[in-house]
Amino acid sequence: MAFLAQQEAVIIACTCGSLKPVCRTYFCRHCFVIRCGNCVSNEVDSIYCAFCLDNVTCEHSLSVRSHTVRETTPQPQQPPVSKHATPSNRAYYLACFFCRWTSRDSNIPDQKTASGSWPERSNTHSTRLNVLLDYYKSIGALEKSNINIDHQSYMKYLRKPTHLLEDQFGFSANVRKQKVELLKKKNLILTDPHSKITVEGSVPTDEIEPLSEDFITKEIDLLSIPKLEQRFNISDLQPDHVSQLMPYHKRLMVKQSQRCRECEHNVCKPEYNPSSIKFKIQLSGYFCIPEIRIISYTPLIAGQVSEITFKICNQFKESTTIKFKQLPPKNSEEDLSYYKTLKKEILLTDNLHKSTILMEEARIQEVTTTGQLDLPKCELVLPPRDDAADCDDLADNQNYNDDPKIVIWRKCNKVGVRMQITPNPDLTVGSMVKVGFLLNFTYTNTLSSTLENKQAPQIIPVDVKMFIDVGVLSDETEK
Amino acid sequence: MESEVKKSMTEARKSLKLPVYEGLLAEKTGVVLDIGTKYTKYGIFGSFQPKGFVMSQVKDPHTGKVRSLYDYKDADDLYALLIEFIRKIFFKYFVTSPKDKRIVVVESVLTPTVWRNTLAKVLFKHFEVLSLLYLPSHLVSLCTLGINTGLVLDIGYTEATLLPIFEGVPVLCAWKDLSIGGKSVESHIRTLLKNEVESQETPNPHLVTVEDIENLSESILEDIKVCSCFVTTKERHDEILENNPDHKYPNNFLYPLKSGKKIPVSGLLRETAFEVLFDLDLDMLNIATMILDSLVCVSRDMKKPLAENILLTGGTSMTPGLKYRLLQELRALLESSAYKDKLFIKNFKFHEFPAKENYVAWLGGAIFAATESYNKRAIQKDAYLNNNIIPDWCNLSVNLPSG
Ligand SMILES: [Zn+2]
Ligand SMILES: [Zn+2]
Ligand SMILES: [Zn+2]
Ligand SMILES: [Zn+2]
């Protein structure tokens, strides 16, 4: 089913301007607009381990280690633990049944318990880096304090763009003096023995280790050289020999949920995490927007009228009335107002109401249609989706005043519609005939009727731009 | 009664907004990104190594083709690519949402404005991050050493860029760049391989053909480069130039492909692939002359301190033998007529990083981000949304607290 709907022949324009197949869209039940991946905010709903499918509460999934070998064989995610030594003085090490790697190969000491607490490896330079980090932290703190006025005036001086040019044009004596003074003051603060903010800078050397003779004399053993990918997994060591490879943490996976950016309601919330299962929310556009599929068409010839049959299907649990309209001319006011996404202004100056709704400009994807569709003027009423009626052959009691020229058949929530299509006369053979129209359907807001004051259900008309790749233009002479 | 219904309704609405899982990032911390032309380094504020490396590429949401972030057509195209990329970084690698997170982006000083602005727009408007700070990569590299004067040469994938920094101030007029790097080495390897395959007299069915070499993916060329090639010494290079018959090349080997065919990689290729970095181009430039030309540009009292504080960063500079050869080349050039009377320096000195060269700039960003200075300099969300302006880099970079 998803595959059928994913055939990108029928594309709809999202409120934000992106073009998506209908199954890739959402319909917000609160703002009554179409949303897509580009105009919802993604959130991390739950985190899980891809191998045991447990969610993050399984502590072990955080510490599962693995390693890779060159020309990777399937990697075991949780290497089986083997027992070793006598029962009284047991020690454990990890061993991989696939490639015979053991934790001893990487010089990881054996552990007393089988369940782990395998030591975390720390960066080999961490002592030095901690010193540096402390140094820059204290400079940062110093900079933050207000005592440092001289420093700030130095900053002010530097912010002037002129100092960037001074090397090019030489210092004017005055500016130079100013700079030296400032630097002196600044260094005074930084080297002040009372403030104790000093660090031993790295000492440069001119004694560089020459190229190892091994490169010239030794044979290349590809199996012992790790690939870049494997080196990057141990980013601080980046070993060049497989014997130095270390186990590394496996990544957890994330289950995302989507939220409408305008009203902040969820439009999609997966049920993965057991704690949220009762709140499964799935507002896919597929279930709200009438689905259009091409059934058949007569050969398309440039400038000539052909016939095309669509199946229109209402997947929503309420009935809907649809109308067809021509697309508004490009970049007209009407067209632009269609993309009304995230129109809320940000109220940042008002401190009491600090709204965080962001404006993201619509990303309008241009579509050029290459054919004209003769749109029916009449309205079509589609009954709600009823899975039981689908199996019932006798349910076709037709009480709809359909124009038989347009509606050629009806079955439950589906209707067959015939239209006339004229590919543009200047179109070349073999190119795609693309048509577009504005589909207006009614959405019945059941949410308001059940929760609020028992009103009659609200019926909201919704416009959606549809673009259809009908097929390629055929050759007139081939007929 | 009615008010009660309303109350219960608001309760129901509230419960619809379920608590958000905070992810694996602690409250006060943030994410440092260094989006290189080939690899992006990502990690957490104040940590000492990146959480990971990932190729700077995404699947195009429309065509499904893998595209490099730097191959963007225009700002809108880049916007779409960056959204996909940032989403991947956060939801896949950090297992968290970027919303309300602190971000540091380490970038080259000459990053195009469109790139910087688009990235800011993606982060603030699409992902609603809390604050963002751009840090110039050459400058923050100094933070990893605790010094404030240095000549930083970054040899990356597509280009080598050089910027001297004196007492914490970048000497922009001595900026040099050259479009050589890992990529030019890889294309040189392709040429060498083609020559080798063509020169074979009888075609061997087990070996690759010229077409195979032409279609060889970049990742295989990269792998050949990483696993077997090195920068040879100047003496050995001179031997090769003289066609010295006593010169003993390193061992050949066969690189197996998935198709079952093998690529013959000669010792000559292994030893000379990296020579593109040292060959003088049409303008008589290579990575050694970049350093010397830059030293010519700076004022006389800066020359010695800069020459004795050279920092070699970038993934390509990790190649075995590169630093040694560079020093040899520098010393030889110093004696040449072109530089002899211009430089007044006697020696060159290099720094050793407490890190691997390919993430030095990232590390500098991570150290800087952990200080109070971050909050002071970062662009806050509100400020960005009010005026949509990203201050130019010089406003930020020169404010570095590097003494
Ligand atoms: Zn959208
Ligand atoms: Zn698990
Ligand atoms: Zn294994
Ligand atoms: Zn909404």
Q: A111: which 2 tokens?
A: 């552990």
Residue of B nearest to A209 (CA): B324
Please indicate whether residue B382 or residue A97 has the higher confidence score (pLDDT). B382
In a domain, B37, yes or no: yes
pLDDT of residue B154: 96
- Residue A126's contacts (CB-CB under 8 Å, 6 or more residues apart) are B48
Given a cut of 50, the residues of chain A with pLDDT beneath it are: 1-2, 57-86, 146-149, 160-172, 193, 341-355, 479
Same-domain status, B41 and B105: yes
In a domain, B29, yes or no: yes
Is A181 at the interface with chain B, CB within 8 A? no
CATH number at residue B213: 3.90.640
The ligand that comes nearest to the alpha carbon of residue A29 is: 4
Same-domain status, B135 and B45: yes
Same-domain status, B80 and B162: no
Same-domain status, B29 and B135: yes
Report helix, strand or coil for B127: coil
In a domain, B5, yes or no: no
| Residue for token pair 């632009």 | A336
In a domain, B6, yes or no: no
**Enclosing domain of residue B325:** 147-180+281-352
CB distance B18–A279 less than 8 Å?
A: yes
Residue of B nearest to A451 (CA): B9
CATH number at residue B165: 3.30.420.40
Same-domain status, B270 and B312: no
Residue ending a domain, among B216, B247, B277, is B277
In a domain, B38, yes or no: yes
CB distance B9–A451 less than 8 Å?
A: yes
The answer to whether the complex's ipTM is over 0.95 is no
CA of B81 to the centre of ligand 1 (A): 16
CB distance A139–B401 less than 8 Å?
A: yes
Domains of chain A: 290-330+366-472 (2.60.40)
CA of A235 to the centre of ligand 2 (A): 24
In a domain, B398, yes or no: no
Same-domain status, B91 and B52: yes
In a domain, B188, yes or no: yes
Residue ending a domain, among B212, B244, B277, is B277
Which one, of B106, B166, B155, B111, lies nearest residue B134 by Cα? B106
CB pairs A-B closer than 8 Å? 243
In a domain, B396, yes or no: no
* pLDDT over threshold 60, residue B397: no
Q: What is the pLDDT of residues A180-213, one digit of tens each?
A: 555 555 555 555 545 566 788 899 999 999 999 9
A137-155 exposure pattern, b = at least 16 Cβ within 10 A, e = fewer? bbbbebbeeeebeebeebb
pLDDT of residue B1: 47
Average pLDDT across chain B, whole number: 87
Is A323 at the interface with chain B, CB within 8 A? no
Q: What is the pLDDT of residues B11-58, one digit of tens each?
A: 433 333 333 333 455 566 899 999 999 999 999 999 999 999 999 999
Q: What is the pLDDT of residues A147-192, one digit of tens each?
A: 444 555 555 555 544 444 444 444 445 555 555 555 555 555 555 5
Any idea which of A153-162, B74-83, B245-254 has the lowest mean pLDDT?
A153-162
Contact list in B for residue A46 (CB cut-off 8 A) is: 21
Residue ending a domain, among B277, B312, B329, is B277
**B244-270 average pLDDT score:** 92
Same-domain status, B172 and B312: yes
Is A155 at the interface with chain B, CB within 8 A? yes
Same-domain status, B33 and B131: yes
**B343-366 average pLDDT score:** 94
Same-domain status, B87 and B205: no
The alpha-carbon gap from A402 to the nearest alpha carbon of chain B, in Å, equals 39
Alpha carbon distance B252, B255 (integer Å): 10
Any idea which of A43-47, A417-421, B159-163, B393-397 has the lowest mean pLDDT?
B393-397
**B141-152 average pLDDT score:** 93
Same-domain status, B175 and B290: yes
Same-domain status, B187 and B175: no
Contact list in A for residue B147 (CB cut-off 8 A) is: 201-202
Checking B63-66 for CB contacts under 8 A at 24+ apart, the result is none
Domain total for chain B?
3
- Residue B267's contacts (CB-CB under 8 Å, 6 or more residues apart) are B249, B250, B251, B252
Same-domain status, B107 and B195: no
CA of A73 to the centre of ligand 3 (A): 7
Q: How far is CA B130 from CA B81, B102, B378, B379, B383, in A?
A: 21, 5, 10, 9, 11
